[in-house]
Structure 1
Amino acid sequence: MVKVAESPENKSSSTVQEMQLPFEKMGLRIGDPLHLEGVDHGGRYHVKLIGYAPGQGLIVSMPVVDGKQVLLKKDRPFTVRSMARTSVFAFNSFIKHVAMQPFPHLFLEYPKELIAVEVRNASRLKVELPSMVTSDFDAGTGEWPKEAVITDISKSGAGVKSVESLGALGDEIKLQFLVSVSGISKTFKISAVIRNKTLLDPGELPYKYTYGLQYLGLSDAAKIVLTGYIYELQAQDY
């Protein structure tokens, strides 16, 4: 059973729609990243899908941290997150078997229930996230870092307001801010390019500028964390 929740911009009178949809219909491909979040005593690990047997289990790679494989224990429970097509999804599972031959891998319990939420690139959610902004380029805007506030966020970009100028159209900047996914806080760093810049009205003081940013080169791990964060923001409306 998969619960498919519509995004806020597409909500009907029923915000959560249950429908029969096997895990294999989610559109995951071999090699796609999965994000494991420890249920018992924390821990976050990035793995890749190796294969699955419908109704039986998933085979994923052994997590690697700082270039070393992390040996996880059998029966340890996890929340598994990933994304496929335009949806981010999550399900509870546990490690049924740990194998080192013929290559290191984990065998996970097949999901009995999976929650999927559609997250469209254009869907921007209102937030108020303090951030620090830096740049590798001399844009003639003074010293770095600078303080800013993220006012909306999506899978592909963000809106930001600031007191000081962060640059001009086409300039590349780096954002650093704190997000919380499943109760775990993580410092998030994103490179972005300025796509639009607007001078705010005096009524918006102390902020003088607002920017539309497009992300650059998000890693698979960053995409999963970001979509997980957006999923939880959307879930607050259900």
Structure 2
Amino acid sequence: MPNDNNQAPVTEVGLRSLKLRPGVALQTQGVAPGSPKKEAQFLAAIEGKGVMVGPHAASSGKASPLKAGEEYTVQGFTGQHDFSFKAQVIQIFEVPFVYALLVYPKVVQARLVRRSLRMKTSLPAKLSLAGGSGAINATLIDVSPFGAMVHAPSPVGVIGDVVNLAVGVNFEGELVGLEIPAKLCHSHKAEAGDGVHVGMSFKTVSQRDRLILHYLAQSSTEAV
């Protein structure tokens, strides 16, 4: 995943401070050596009481991947923090919906990955390697003042390369162009359809472009 702050240390925080939203994707793994990783989703938590974890959204309605009495390592990403904690499953429920109730963790290991939330968007963009010729048509799919993710038809450079991201933004009724140098942080196959998702962190950004990026992020409606 894109990393706007890859030097941040891991700290111990309370689960409540992460402000998890229902539906946040989780990965669970039994603490026993060789245990498989299972996809799940956060449903809710009551401080000091328990954490409700359901099956992955794509398999909702099916049996819980967790087992009562077993201990698991739970990992996730809030949009700003990577986090993980260990907890035992208290009980599995099937009504009114399928979920596992986990012991509420005393502390959570968290690391700040992004300095601000990325906001979903969908804007035509172009990517080109710094100093290279030609540009690849892409779609800007999320953005913050510090980084972005685009959907591209094919991989662009390698991790650590610097690219130029060009995108047009409707800024207070006027179309303005942004051209920002960015470092490639990761690239992976898109979950649906063809192409790849390319994550990047911005390098030097002018005050004017930073203002427009703040405007773009704030005018979008859904955090990622």
What TM-score bracket applies, with the shorter chain setting the length? 0.3 to 0.5
TM-score (norm 2): 0.47
> Structure with the greater relative contact order (CA < 8 A, sep ≥ 6): 1 or 2?
2
TM-score (norm 1): 0.45
